[in-house]
Structure 1
Amino acid sequence: MTKDTQNAPLTPSNYEPQRHPDYQDDEIDLRELFGIIWQGKWWIIAITFVFAVGAVIYSLSLPNIYKSEATLAPTEEASGGGISQMAGQLGGLASLAGVNLGQQGADKTTIALEILKSRAFIRGFVEKYDILPELMAVEGWNRGSGIEFDDETYNSDSQEWVREVEPPKQPEPSSWEYVKVFREEVLEVSKDDTTGLVTIAVNHQSPEIAQQWVVWLIEEINNHMRERDIQEAQRSLEYLDEELQNTSLSDMQQVFYQLIEKQTQTIMLANVRPEYIFQTLDPAVVPEQKAKPSRALICIIGTFLGGFLGVGFVLVRNIFRKENEDVA
């Protein structure tokens, strides 16, 4: 290169980019990558096959879970109608008299749903219907023979719990254990904010039990809310009767009489309505098809995971092999 050429300005015709010898080594050679994968194809196939077989075995080991659900509509009492709406006319006078007519605070639908998921309600539900074995010890269900209990957990013949656990746990599951299982695995409660409709669902290995528990839950929450309102109304009546005896003002006596009438109506309607808080629109039925598990999806995911790990293993193995060759 002459001196004039060296001093000439850089133009596309005389500019030659500098070539770094390591530049091509840093590029990803797809042909080499596919070559590495092809050389390790038997490793990939073997790992994928192992994961696929494992996914099939795992999916077959899972019991079928059936889901039964019911659609409910809040009644007038739950949505603020009926007696609650009429009691609003006397709300101010009731407050002066020290009586709560239930027109303030959370609506009864929200309260009922929270009670349905509460620890006390679930514990009482399990104890009343004696369903602890069906909740904690079922291994599977057969259409011909029915429920199959896990022999290592519960002896159905002697009705004894035989599971082996470490202290402080006991062979028989505590309320802390079965309430958690009931909340997380069995019970599903949802409310549509647009329509106000409520859905209660139960997941279980037995379709008959799933349907029966939904019916019992609806019945129990209606009874619980009925008893709750009756007890509250009875306490209000006792207070109003006492205050009525202690006042001589005719105006206040008239107020007390009206409040007593409202509380009496509350008790009367609570006793005559079987579906006090929730009215069943679509009752629970015995499901004929399982809700989960999706065995095909489990097998597909397991196979793809095996293939991905197989490719990763081959690439990492090749990297270590190159490092060993460079060191040698």
Structure 2
Amino acid sequence: MTEQTTVQSQTALPEDDEISLIDLAIALGEEKATILMVTGLFTAVAVALALQMPNIYSAKTVMVPPQQQQSGAASALASLGGLAGLAGSAAGIKSPDEMYVAFIKSEGLQNAVIEKLSLQERYKAKSVTDARAALGGAVRITPDKKSGLITIEADDQDPAFAAQLANAHVDELRVLMGRLAVTDAQQRRMFYEQQIKKVQSELAEAEQSFRKAKAQSGMQVTAVLAETGVRASAELRGQIAAREVQMSAMSRFATAQNPDVQRLGSELSALRAQLAKLEQGSGVAEATLPLQQQAVKSYRDVKVQEAMLEVLIKQYELARVDEAKEGPLLQQLDVATAPERKAKPKRAIIVLAAAFGGLFLGVLLAFIRRAMRKAAESDQGSSQIALLQKAWSFKR
């Protein structure tokens, strides 16, 4: 009897597996209406939503960021005079693609684009901050590490406006870079511009002071200075002032232990010692009256500022030449145009994804309904269903 029972149980196993597969097919067949209804409902909803979604067009522009001309900067350094170390301290500064991406994403540039295209009204934003957030979601900026190109893609329901939005970022970036010193030559040119303005202001003050002192003293200062050698003192003061400007600029990039800084310090000390020796030996302070001393000092200050201005103007012109060699700041490889085809939504993909999701949910629901019916047909299943309902009930 035992062996016969064992054989019967072994032969029943494949039958149970076969019955399970048959039950699966039966469950799907019995609940086919549920499956079709859920799948159709999901598909219909997806179709309705997809048709209501507006078409979004994506316009793209590709730009070439400025390239540093290191060879041009090096040739300019060889031509510089007393401030050569200053120009050299700025050499080697490069502008990676990330810097230009950061410029485009800056609040100042985004605010300019928002104001130019009236994006706050277009996006129905309550504040500029909300408009910037909407703009960030509509614009994608992608730098290419290999080629160095930067791609700007803008999305909008209007294809013409999408192209306008992409090109506006490039235009505002040009405006921004016109105010900033980005390249090596721009940095040197801007520094010399600031120094020239400063020296011109000091020269005007010195000339005014000289005219006043000359009128009070009533002497021919030029002849006196030619005889006493103060003209040489003025030239020395001009050299000292030039090196002081150079030292001030280099202090932003180098420490006191830098060899160039130490060399400049030694040159300044030697020139100051030479100036002190020359002025002490000239006899001007002993041979003239106080008013004449003031006139001599004022004339000397004018000559110092003139020498400084001459040195700075020469180097400013060299920086402008080097800046011209660098070419345009920004170049658009591909100007954004109105796209002919929409970029999104992908309606077919949305409907297919919803159909597959509804089919999966319908099959799952069919199995659950089949299991609940089978459980309700047996006493044990009925009690388990009652316990399940009690467990999930909020009434105690």
- Bigger helix share: 2
In the TM superposition, what is the alpha-carbon distance from 1:209 to its structure 2 partner? 0.5
In the TM superposition, what is the alpha-carbon distance from 1:221 to its structure 2 partner? 0.9
1:228 paired with 2:180, answer yes
Match of 1:69, as an amino acid? K
Q: TM-score, normalised by structure 2?
A: 0.57
Q: TM-score, normalised by structure 1?
A: 0.68
In the TM superposition, what is the alpha-carbon distance from 1:235 to its structure 2 partner? 4.7
1:237 to 177, 189, 192: 192
Match of 2:55, as an amino acid? N
Unpaired runs of 5+ in structure 1?
2-15, 138-171
Q: Quick check: 1:233–1:266 contact (8 Å CA) kept in 2? A: no
Residue by residue over 1:103-154, the C-alpha shift from the partner in whole angstroms, topping out at 9 and shown as x without a partner, is 32543x43222111223321221013323222x14xxxxxxxxxxxxxxxxx
Name the SS of the counterpart of 2:90 in structure 1. Answer: coil
Residue by residue over 1:65-98, the C-alpha shift from the partner in whole angstroms, topping out at 9 and shown as x without a partner, is 1111122223xxx2212xx543356499979549
Question: In structure 1, what is the equivalent of residue 136 of structure 2?
Answer: 183
Name the SS of the counterpart of 1:289 in structure 2. Answer: coil
Question: In structure 1, what is the equivalent of residue 387 of structure 2?
Answer: none
In the TM superposition, what is the alpha-carbon distance from 1:60 to its structure 2 partner? 0.7
Question: In structure 1, what is the equivalent of residue 148 of structure 2?
Answer: 196
In the TM superposition, what is the alpha-carbon distance from 1:256 to its structure 2 partner? 5.7
Tell me, in whole angstroms, the C-alpha distance in 2 between the residues paired with 1:280 and 1:128. 20
Change (3 A) 1:71 1:106: closer
Question: In structure 1, what is the equivalent of residue 72 of structure 2?
Answer: 86
1:1-328 aligned within 5 A: 19=9, 29-74=20-65, 78-81=66-69, 85-88=71-74, 90=77, 97=86, 101=90, 103-104=92-93, 106-107=95-96, 109-134=97-122, 136-137=123-124, 172-184=125-137, 186-229=138-181, 235-238=190-193, 240-241=195-196, 247-249=238-240, 252=243, 259-265=315-321, 276-326=328-378, 327=380, 328=382
Q: Quick check: 2:68–2:94 contact (8 Å CA) kept in 1? A: no
May I ask how many residue pairs the two structures share in their alignment? Answer: 268
In the TM superposition, what is the alpha-carbon distance from 1:216 to its structure 2 partner? 1.9
Q: Quick check: 1:94–1:100 contact (8 Å CA) kept in 2? A: no
Change (3 A) 1:229 1:259: same
Question: In structure 2, what is the equivalent of residue 156 of structure 1?
Answer: none
Name the SS of the counterpart of 1:229 in structure 2. Answer: coil
Q: Quick check: 2:57–2:344 contact (8 Å CA) kept in 1? A: yes
Change (3 A) 1:122 1:100: farther
Q: Quick check: 1:36–1:314 contact (8 Å CA) kept in 2? A: yes
Among the aligned pairs, what percent are the same residue?
23
- Bigger strand share: 1
In the TM superposition, what is the alpha-carbon distance from 1:19 to its structure 2 partner? 4.8
Cα RMSD of the aligned pairs, angstroms, is: 3.9
